[in-house]
Chain A
Amino acid sequence: MTKLPGWQGLQRVALVLGLPAVLVVVWWFASADSDHLVFRPLSEILVAFRETWLGPRLVEDVLPSLSRLARGYAASVVLGVGLGVLVGWSRTLRALLEPVLELLRAIPPPALIPLIGLFAGLGDSRRIVIIIAGCVWPILLNTVEGVRAVDEVLADTCRSYRVRGLTRLRQLVLRSASPQIMTGARQALAIGIILMVISELRGTVHGIGFSVEQFQTSFRYPEMWSGVLLLGLLGVALALLFRLADSWILGWYHGLRASNRER
């Protein structure tokens, strides 16, 4: 029996979108006659969504938020991987820094907001520093783990074939730590989105987080819900982007795992 090409793909799409579709339908009908002040009908929320976010706010609020997230996240990756390689590499540095890193990591980043405000001023830079303060830890600590776990046979191979310096760093250390680094980066992305919102709750007049907060305090509940919906959709979109990057960077790793499972 032959299957139509694409049939399996369709099945997968149906599987992925099935539950969300059902939930939206349930939400639509359950909320349709709602006259509750806070829990508005979905139809109203969708109208608010179009009017709120697809207008000037896209440029005034959504893009600045995303840009801060992107800059903070990128800085965290560079900082986390860079420091992680150094710490994972040097035994002395590790012994010296590990307790401090564990302590810093244990502090919830929102608790640092007032403190960071003191040093980083008030503008964009303050909010970016808050995002970095939360995102850098999972990347840093996972990179340290990954660098320490370099296979010793591969390390010997590099030594005896005199693969050293930058080639060694790129071809051995970073590549073999890359599955761990990606794990840290995935955790950091989730933290980054949360901090993007939290960092906007005070001291600004722009951003998605600020807008949602403002709608709530001014009783504009459909708009508030549409902001929550927007954040959810952004989260899904970013997770998809991450999946794309992951399969590009770690294609070899997923293949290796699959072939080990078959053997």
Chain B
Amino acid sequence: MLEVRGLHKVYDSHGRRVEAIGELTFTVDDGRFACVVGPSGCGKTTLLRCIAGLLPPTGGEVWVQGSQVTGPPSGLAVVFQEYGRSLFPWLRVRDNVELPLRAAGLPRARRRELATEALAAVGLSDAHRAYPWQLSGGMQQRVAIARAVAYQPQVLLMDEPFAAVDAQTRADLEDLIRSVWRRLGVTLLFVTHDIDEAVYLGERVIVLSAAPTRIREDLAIDLPVERDQLATRSDPRFTDLRAHIYAQIQKTRHPAPQEELS
């Protein structure tokens, strides 16, 4: 389980004070899939870094699997926004996937097995001998996902993982994430600025306001568990939900909407 209680974060450096997170409180139960959506600069990355124990909050607390986060918790994996930079360019794909397992002291045979499985799950069985820089952006993102999968986390955090890949790859990766989530039974917090993506992926969408960030709305996504790029996206319920969230986000950006000619 993942709990965020009264989280507050202020960046204060070089005389510039930025209130990145006003106050956030929410819980994601075991094995659930929650998406966090909000405009760029509203503190999504800041939120993930606080949950991952990479950044101390200014106020409030974060609990992962029953213990308070003071540093990177065990059993938690992160897929970073800058996925290309998060892969070790001097390690081959397989070694990139195996590194966290090696650090955890797993025996060699077990590491091999987990890495092979994870790479197969993301459709990269053939690429294990390649270096990350020999792969396309979408394939690099798959490697980063495979590394998280092989780590067998209880909680998985993903920060706008598909922002920089082309539309087709993105659709494939979205379906990949759904299948990985259902297979692993992992608690997943997926951050994005893309409303369609949030509605398509999640069981629940947490809509953030612009800075100082609060929760604008916490919305259950009552779409069928089996999702399909064509059928789901043309489902009237899907369109309703995305229109609703879109309106919410527009309101956060323009608190007092004015008549506009266009």
Binding site for B on A (CB under 8 A): 151, 153-154, 156-157, 159-164, 167-168, 171-172, 175-176, 178, 252-253, 255-256, 259-260
Contact = CB atoms under 8 A, between A and B. Distances in A.
B contact residues, range? 20 to 34
A176 B133 CA distance: 15
B248 to A, nearest CB: 31
A162 B131 contact: no
B82 to A, nearest CB: 5
Contact of A255 (B52, B71, B133): B133
Contacts of A156: 54, 78, 80, 86
Contacts of A259: 133-134
Contact of B90 (A157, A164, A253): A253
B104 A162 contact: yes
Given A161-B103, A162-B104, A171-B91, A255 B86 contact: no
B185 interface: no
A256 B133 contact: yes
B72 A159 contact: yes
B99 A162 contact: no
Nearest to A151: B85
B53 interface: yes
B133 to A, nearest CB: 5
25 contacts: A153-B80, A153-B82, A153-B86, A154-B85, A156-B78, A156-B80, A156-B86, A157-B78, A157-B80, A160-B53, A160-B77, A161-B147, A161-B151, A162-B100, A162-B103, A163-B99, A163-B103, A167-B99, A167-B102, A171-B99, A176-B90, A255-B131, A255-B134, A256-B131, A259-B134
Nearest to B157: A160
A252 B131 contact: yes
Interface of B: 52-54, 71-72, 74, 76-78, 80, 82, 85-86, 88-91, 99-100, 102-104, 131, 133-134, 147, 151
Nearest to B84: A153
A202 to B, nearest CB: 45
Given A162-B72, A163-B100, A164-B103, A175 B133 contact: no
Nearest to A175: B90
Nearest to B148: A161
Contacts of B102: 167
A255 B130 CA distance: 11
A256 B104 CA distance: 28
Contacts of A252: 89-90, 131
Contacts of A253: 89-90
A157 B86 contact: yes
B95 to A, nearest CB: 9
Which has the most chain B C-beta neighbours within 10 Å: A160, A253, A255, A259? A160
B13 to A, nearest CB: 15
